[in-house]
Amino acid sequence: MKNWFWLAICLVATGAQAQVDIKKNFVKKSVVVTSFTGGANVSDVLKNDLRLSGSFDIKAAGEPAEYSVSGSADAAGVKCFVTQTATKAVVLGRAYATTGNARATAHIIADDIVQTVTGQRGIAQTKIAFIYSPKRGVKELAVMDYDGFNVRVLTHDGRISGHPRWSPDGRKIAYTSYWKGFPDVLEADLATNQRRVLANFPGVNSGADYSPDGQTIALTLSKDGNPELYTMNAGGGGLRRLTYTKGAESSPTWSPDGQTIAYVSDDRGSPQIYTVNRSGGEPTRLTVSPAYNTEPAWSHPPAGADVKPMLAVTSRVGGNFQVGVYDPGTQAITPKAAEGDCTDPTWAPDGHHLVFAKIHGYQSRLYLLDVRTNEQVELPAIAGESSEPAWGSWH
């Protein structure tokens, strides 16, 4: 069944006519990064950023490359130059004041290089929230830079936390917490370090996800019998019920235009992905195969991006969990990560990177994947387990 909501959103978002979700003729640009005089830290981080961007083929010194990056760093700041080899044109020449934070400066430079060379906005300054488990039975809320560095464990409750989601302005994180022994939705304010309760009804309160304009939160509540989908005002109150089934609903994710919510329902037996209008009404089923699909994540690429909005899902195929991308035209799911148990994809704001959790040897770690090439990179390991990543937007 074609979902006209879905196609309309895709067309509106990109104005594109392409049937394919991912650029099939994507080619990386080759680049060589010479060490920045006085700033090995900056060039190391920068090289990693260019690699993780997925848009560059990093060449060794002396190898031919379409672009070369050079620069210098001193107490005053960092200068960076990007030269196009064929034309010898300096396509980027900029001075950056550094606050002494080499990583942060390198990330700014990397985004400038990605923007200049590819015309697309980079992700090097973005953050990822996730669930950090230092030991069995304890799960805390944590954030880190998109490259896995600067991990900050935000809670020390010694209890279970889950399902973090950023507000679009990056100031708050809604998440599930067993602070009173029950699953409740809390909102943490990162500037003030304060937390407040968003939902603590009887039963399960979980799955909070902010609408793209930050005004509404979709969430899962079972207070009326079994887990159903609701929305509420981000400021509190205004509860509205969206689903009425005998099965369990969970895991809402918002469309880019904020009008439609995709979510999980097992009303027909096993969990599948559905959509419903933000004001409720008749749901539309999206997935039919494989038999078990959960944790939809709807990408929100910027207008003019070279990718359409996509829905990533976690599927179970023959007992193995896989991260895949759903095609509304064929209703098929294309696996993107299937080695080990791969779950819980979250999209970068550029719409072509995913971070997901992979369980390997019963340990959960986070991986970054570029859907244009399917290349995946394990993010730096930290002691303990990492799961349920949530990528923050640009702001």
Partner 1 sequence: MRNRFTVQVVALTLIASFSLTGCSWWHKHFGPKTPANQTGGAQPGPLGGGTSVSTDIQPGERPDLNGPMDRTQFAAQVVYFDLDSAKIKSSESSKIEAIATALKGNAKKLVIEGHTDERGTAEYNRALGEKRAAAARDALVAAGVAADRMTTVSFGKDKPVEPLHNAAAWSKNRRAEFVVTGQ
Residues in contact with partner 1 by CB under 8 A are 131, 136-137, 139, 141, 154-157, 160, 162-163, 176-177, 179-183, 186, 188, 190, 192-204, 206-207, 220, 222-223, 225-227, 236-238, 247-251, 264, 266, 270-271, 292, 294-295, 314, 316, 319, 321, 341, 343-344, 362, 387-388
- Beta-carbon contacts of 135 under 8 Å, excluding residues fewer than 6 positions away, are 384
Name which of 23 and 316 has its Cβ closer to partner 1.
Answer: 316
Continuous segment of H or E residues that includes residue 367 = strand 363-370
Question: CB of 226: closest distance to partner 1 in angstroms?
Answer: 6
Torsion region of 100: left, alpha or beta (phi above 0 gives left; psi -120 to 50 gives alpha): left
Q: What is the spatial distance between Cα 113 and Cα 103, in angstroms, rounded to a whole number?
A: 15
Name which of 236 and 304 has its Cβ closer to partner 1.
Answer: 236
Question: CB of 238: closest distance to partner 1 in angstroms?
Answer: 7
Name which of 305 and 323 has its Cβ closer to partner 1.
Answer: 323
Question: CB of 115: closest distance to partner 1 in angstroms?
Answer: 33
Name which of 14 and 322 has its Cβ closer to partner 1.
Answer: 322
Question: CB of 200: closest distance to partner 1 in angstroms?
Answer: 4
- Beta-carbon contacts of 142 under 8 Å, excluding residues fewer than 6 positions away, are 129, 130, 131, 132, 151, 152, 153, 154, 386
Question: CB of 19: closest distance to partner 1 in angstroms?
Answer: 30
- Residue 285: beta bridge partners? 274
Name which of 107 and 165 has its Cβ closer to partner 1.
Answer: 165
Name which of 46 and 312 has its Cβ closer to partner 1.
Answer: 312
* DSSP 8-state code for residue 364: E
- Residue 154: beta bridge partners? none
Question: CB of 383: closest distance to partner 1 in angstroms?
Answer: 19
User: Residues 276, 243: contact at Cβ < 8 Å?
Assistant: yes
Name which of 161 and 211 has its Cβ closer to partner 1.
Answer: 161
Quote the tokens at residue 293.
């699909």
Please choose, from the candidates 259, 249, 253, 247, the residue with its C-alpha nearest in 3D space to the C-alpha of residue 208: 253
Please choose, from the candidates 285, 260, 258, 288, the residue with its C-alpha nearest in 3D space to the C-alpha of residue 274: 285
Q: List, in sequence order, the alpha helices (H) in the chain.
A: 4-14, 40-52, 102-118
Question: CB of 245: closest distance to partner 1 in angstroms?
Answer: 11
